[in-house]
């Protein structure tokens, strides 16, 4: 899933609206994460706040006085469009598109319709290339945010082991006058997107740059991303797995369940047959949920929406208390996983040490 290597392919739901009290002057002052409880508890507070839509008065306040800390990410965060819309869970986040090149034509994630052209290219075995955004793209975004009144910028990006995006962001950060913290989140997809949205929620509530970064890091570090692909060839050509591992999966019909750990794509389990691997993937997710009160789960797909939607409904029936999100995998990642990918991200407090504190939002 490296976002800057050539690849040749083979032939939310929101909770009910609720009014929020007008914050006091003290509450509006910038602040760093609370000392009470662990970092996991603090970040969980912001995850829970994602599901509360702003009331009319709160929405007006946000529009009149946007956060002084801006949050930027890239399209590999896989944040659903409805989350980025007005009133959405990640409202206010700025997404820098990652380029995808198909048959010599450059497309921008989020600015061009990529689903059709990429699906055809993957099915036909046409060459697909992806790249990181240029430093100039980041600099343009940072300068615009500075002109709009931002006093600091948190720029959260996919793992540096999968892409050089963080390098481009750091080069651009040196060219602007306000502080820009570039965070390599060491993951991708909504395991990254949840952290971005949580940081933005924290920034909206007045947390300073260091605090917003701490929230993003805590959520990303505690999130998991597991995925399954019908063929390993795409990942092999992208340099993310070895040729021997790819050949084993092809010859023996073994379907490895993969995960992103410490910034890299690693095999988690090997299962014979795709149906069994799919069932096992869901079992692993359920086991993960057992230690995460108030967890949220994102299901990613590309070219197999109905299949993944069925998995989502299956999990909802067995765990009605768990919030779920269905989101198409962004083209910059789908170019490396291929058609038929199933990826599942889980975020939420890990209740493993007894000091995580209450899971209710303020």
Cα–Cα dist 282/332, whole Å: 25
**Helix, strand and coil percent figures for the chain, each rounded to 5:** 40, 20, 40
Query: Could you tell me which residues come within 8 angstroms of residue 290 by beta carbon, excluding any fewer than 6 positions away?
Result: none
pLDDT digits (tens, 9 = 90+) for 70-84: 999 999 999 999 999
Residues in CB range of 90: below 8 A, 6 or more apart: 50, 79, 83, 84, 193, 196, 197, 200
Encoded tokens for 334: 């789908």
Q: Quick one: pLDDT at residue 180? A: 98
Side-chain-side CA neighbours of 28 within 13 Å: the count stands at: 12
Q: How confident is the model at residue 29 (pLDDT cuts 50, 70, 90)?
A: very low
Predicted model pTM: 0.81
Q: Are 73 and 185 in contact, with CB atoms under 8 Å apart? A: no
pLDDT at 276 over 70: yes
Q: Render pLDDT for 179-217 as a digit per residue (tens, 0 to 9).
A: 999 999 999 999 999 999 999 988 988 889 998 999 999
Q: How confident is the model at residue 56 (pLDDT cuts 50, 70, 90)?
A: low
Highest mean pLDDT among 3-17, 74-88, 102-116, 218-232: 74-88
pLDDT at residue 28 in the model: 42
Dist CA 88 CA 53 (whole Å): 7
pLDDT at residue 20 tops 50: no
Q: At 103, which helix (H) or strand (E)?
A: none
Provide the percentage of residues in the chain whose pLDDT is more than 70.
Answer: 70
CB 223 within 8 A of CB 346: yes
Confidence band of 268 (pLDDT split at 50, 70, 90): confident
CB 298 within 8 A of CB 350: no
């Amino acid at each position: 899933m490296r976002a800057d290597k050539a690849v040749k392919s083979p032939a939310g739901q929101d909770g009910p609206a609720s009014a929020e009290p007008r914050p006091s002057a003290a509450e509006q002052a910038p602040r760093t994460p609370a000392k009470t409880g662990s970092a996991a508890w603090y970040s969980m507070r912001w995850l829970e706040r994602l599901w509360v839509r702003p009331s009319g008065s709160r929405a007006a306040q946000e529009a009149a006085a946007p956060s002084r800390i801006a949050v930027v990410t890239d399209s590999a965060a896989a944040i659903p469009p409805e989350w980025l819309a007005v009133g959405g869970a990640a409202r206010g986040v700025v997404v820098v598109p990652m380029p995808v090149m198909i048959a010599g034509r450059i497309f921008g994630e989020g600015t061009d319709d990529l689903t059709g052209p990429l699906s055809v290219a993957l099915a036909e075995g046409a060459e697909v290339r992806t790249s990181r955004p240029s430093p100039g793209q980041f600099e343009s975004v940072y300068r615009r945010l500075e002109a709009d009144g931002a006093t600091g910028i948190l720029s959260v990006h996919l793992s540096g082991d999968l892409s050089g995006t963080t390098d481009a962001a750091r080069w651009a950060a040196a060219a602007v006058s306000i502080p820009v913290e570039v965070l390599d989140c060491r993951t991708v997809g909504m395991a990254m997107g949840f952290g971005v949205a949580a940081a933005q929620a924290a920034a909206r509530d007045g947390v300073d740059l260091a605090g917003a970064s701490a929230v993003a890091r805590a959520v990303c570090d505690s999130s998991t991303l597991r995925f399954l692909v019908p063929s390993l060839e795409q990942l092999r050509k992208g340099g993310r797995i070895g040729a021997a591992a790819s050949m084993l999966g092809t010859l023996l019909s073994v379907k490895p369940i993969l995960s992103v750990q410490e910034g890299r794509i690693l095999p988690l389990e090997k299962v014979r047959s795709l149906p069994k691997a799919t069932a096992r993937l869901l079992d692993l997710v359920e086991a993960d949920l057992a230690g995460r009160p108030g967890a949220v789960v994102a299901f990613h797909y590309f070219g197999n929406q109905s299949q993944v939607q069925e998995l989502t409904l299956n999990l909802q029936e067995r765990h009605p208390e768990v919030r779920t999100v269905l989101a198409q995998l962004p083209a910059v990642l789908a170019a490396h996983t291929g058609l038929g990918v199933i990826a599942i991200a889980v975020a939420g407090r890990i209740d493993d040490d007894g000091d995580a504190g209450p899971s209710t939002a303020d």
